[in-house]
Structure 1
Amino acid sequence: MGNSSSMLTQYDIEEVQEHCNHTSGNSVTVPKCASLFIFQRLLRMLDGLNFKEFVAFLSAFSPRATLQQKVEFIFKVYDSDGNGKVTFSDMLEVLRDLSGQFISEQQREQVLTHVLEEAGYTKNSLLGLSDFMKVLCSFISNKFLSM
């Protein structure tokens, strides 16, 4: 899969086993992708991974994965250029992929702006992992509190 050597060290094997221990039945099932665009984004994330990295990638889909592992994975989906920061544009692109033609571009921007503002950020904010987590937590708590 990647350009790295395919030889696994004992440490690599133990790390792969650790990832597998977080999965039920030592296998990982990948949920159906809601969107072809998201599926393509996930495939791009796989490009260049060695086996150990591939297992780590799949472990985020496990029901035994921690919330932190899942949030880190989601962050990587949004951080398409891998620079460790998520921009308004990055989030808008994923929202566009998820919503398709169901809502207009203007509606997407309004929703995203509102979500960011609720968490104390603006359209110009560069979100690191902790900032991204704060936005997610704010969105989730506001969503469930308003029900």
Structure 2
Amino acid sequence: MFRSMLVAVDGSDIGQKALEQGLAVARAMEIPVHVVHVIQTAAYPALALSDLPPPDIAQQALLDALYREAEEILAGAERTAAAAGVPVTTHKQLGHPGAEIIALARKVGAGLIVVGSHGKGKLGRLFLGSTSSYVVDHATSTVMVVRCEPGAS
């Protein structure tokens, strides 16, 4: 049915739950898994501009910290996958999370994208945006949205 899967992780509990459920599906279907963490540049406007000169010391320190955090999140995903007996390939992306998830899914040929949803509702999406909603609305692949438990964050 699917040749491969892409699971997006962000270091949150719901991201971990999405990873675990994605790994269970991948193991049952015997398909390869790609795990991605996207460093969201929109949260740091100075980093979101592509025509910037080389980063200054403060920008470079911020980028270094964000990359270290991404590496820690992906290392945790690798440990979770190893414990589940599922090999994974990890990816670090920089940009808009939804757009980067979709672009990577196309690049690796993932027929299934797994994302977590914090369940903020329409008002929360209006003010905060929603990566899962963006992926559902724009992906050409099948999308599995893993929801958090009511009252969880």
- TM-score class normalised by the smaller sequence: under 0.3
- RCO (CA 8 Å, sep 6+): is it higher in 1 or 2? 2
Q: TM-score, normalised by structure 2?
A: 0.27
Structure with greater proportional helix content: 1
Larger radius of gyration: 1
**TM-score, with length taken from structure 1:** 0.27
